[in-house]
């Protein structure tokens, strides 16, 4: 491109020099003739001076054009270099992000081992509440006729329906009270409290000798069932690690179905008409087992609830026992992850504020 420009410039200079030369020759000849002097010396010097002036002007213009072209090429090269640098920097940033993600995954694998025994005890003992919900939902269906005959309300469909459905009324009250109860005394304390009506209610139904006692026992049982329905899923979601939270959350559904199955697979009342009393009394045993695990603190308290009430050290201890976390730094790391998810959820900025207090 620069070569073509120089050729065009030289042609322009030559044409301009030729025209000026012809003009100067005509002017010089007329002047020399008028003066009576020789006309061959002056035109020669004028021609040289004109060519020199034109050459100087053309050279300056050519030099400036070359400088502009060189500057343009330099700018283009700089742009290419800058683009290359930006691509290199972007590549470094992307590779750095990948390295950071790999480091975080490695860190998570190094900090956490398999789930500890406390986690298994806490999860599977808590599922007893879901098991009893399914059990009490179906245990009265088969022996209802025998119960009505023995307690003296056989043939009254309204009273028979009352015995079956009164547990639902108690369940509504228990479910409403489960939230404030769990926030007030903790998840473990709330679960322990729900086991009390699950023990007392079936025992009252088992020893009932009239309709009123049976209705009372079923109502108390419903309170425990409703409260456990509200607390069990919350507790499981708070103690289970993220990588197994779905599996451990599904154990509640499995326990419910197992309770329904146990309620319908029992000996017939034709063998012993009073067998239905043992069906109610037997359900108090699983509730007593769960109550024992809560009172003996084998069932761990929820670390999330401990964080919410400001018991940070207890939260670290609970988390270390539940998830087999190695070291204080690992516990803090998991606490921060919980607080970040809490801050982006329904609690708004409360999680971020708690995180600042923790750190």
The dihedral built from the CA positions of residue 343, 312, 248 and 253, taken in this order, carries a sign that is: negative
Do the beta carbons of residue 316 and residue 300 sit within 8 Å? no
pLDDT tier at 197 (50, 70, 90 boundaries)?
very high
Q: Which long-range contacts (CB under 8 A, 24 or more apart) does 273-277 make?
A: 273/146, 273/150, 274/150, 275/143, 276/143, 276/146, 276/147, 277/206, 277/207
Residue 65's pLDDT is 63
pLDDT tier at 112 (50, 70, 90 boundaries)?
very low
Do the beta carbons of residue 334 and residue 319 sit within 8 Å? yes
Residue 319's pLDDT is 81
pLDDT digits (tens, 9 = 90+) for 73-108: 555 555 554 555 445 544 444 444 444 454 444 444
pLDDT digits (tens, 9 = 90+) for 240-260: 887 788 888 889 999 999 999
Q: What is the pLDDT averaged over residues 140-162?
A: 89
Fold of 113-325: Growth Hormone; Chain: A; (1.20.1250)
Residue 29's pLDDT is 46
Contacts of 112 (CB under 8 A, 6+ apart): 241, 323, 324, 325, 326, 330, 334
- For the chain, the distance separating the N- and C-terminal CA atoms, rounded to the nearest angstrom, is 66
Is the entire prediction scored with pTM above 0.75?
no
| The two structure tokens encoding residue 34 | 């008028």
The residues pairing with 325 across neighbouring beta strands, listed in sequence order, are: 112
Residue 170, φ and ψ in degrees, nearest 5: -65, -35
Would you kindly state where each structural domain of the chain is located, as residue ranges? 2-87, 113-325
Q: What is the pLDDT averaged over residues 160-175?
A: 94
Say yes or no to pLDDT of 72 above 70: no
Do the beta carbons of residue 240 and residue 249 sit within 8 Å? yes
The mean pLDDT value of the chain amounts to: 73
């Amino acid at each position: 491109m620069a070569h073509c420009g120089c050729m065009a410039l030289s042609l322009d200079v030559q044409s301009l020099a030729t025209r000026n030369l012809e003009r100067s020759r005509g002017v010089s000849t007329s002047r020399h003739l008028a003066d009576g002097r020789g006309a061959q010396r002056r035109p020669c010097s004028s021609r040289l001076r004109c060519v020199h002036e034109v050459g100087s002007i053309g050279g300056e213009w050519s030099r400036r054009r070359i400088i502009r072209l060189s500057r343009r090429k330099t700018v283009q090269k700089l742009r290419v270099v800058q683009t290359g640098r930006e691509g290199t920097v972007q590549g470094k940033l992307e590779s750095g992000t990948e390295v950071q993600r790999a480091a975080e995954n490695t860190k998570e694998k190094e900090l956490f081992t398999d789930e500890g025994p406390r986690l298994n005890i806490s999860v599977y003992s808590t599922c007893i509440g879901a098991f009893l919900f399914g059990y009490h939902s179906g245990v009265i269906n088969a022996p209802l006729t025998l119960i009505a005959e023995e307690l003296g309300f056989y043939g009254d469909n309204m009273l028979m329906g009352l015995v079956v459905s009164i547990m639902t009324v108690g369940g509504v009250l228990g479910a409403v009270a489960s939230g404030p109860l769990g926030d007030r005394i903790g998840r473990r304390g709330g679960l322990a409290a729900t086991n009390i009506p699950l023990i007392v209610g079936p025992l009252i139904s088992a020893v009932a000798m009239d309709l009123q006692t049976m209705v009372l026992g079923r109502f108390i049982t419903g309170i425990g069932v409703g409260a456990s329905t509200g607390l069990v899923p919350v507790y499981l979601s708070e103690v289970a690690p993220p990588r197994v939270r779905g599996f451990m959350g599904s154990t509640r559904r499995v326990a419910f179905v197992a309770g329904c199955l146990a309620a319908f697979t029992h000996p017939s009342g034709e063998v012993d008409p009073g067998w239905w009393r043992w069906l109610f009394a037997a359900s108090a045993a699983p509730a007593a087992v769960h109550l024992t695990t809560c009172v003996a603190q084998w069932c761990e308290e929820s670390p999330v609830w401990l964080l919410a009430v400001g018991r940070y050290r207890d939260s670290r201890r609970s988390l270390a026992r539940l998830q087999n976390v190695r070291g204080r730094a690992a516990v803090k790391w998991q606490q921060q992850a919980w607080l970040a998810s809490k801050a982006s959820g329904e609690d708004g900025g409360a999680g971020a504020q708690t995180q600042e207090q923790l750190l």
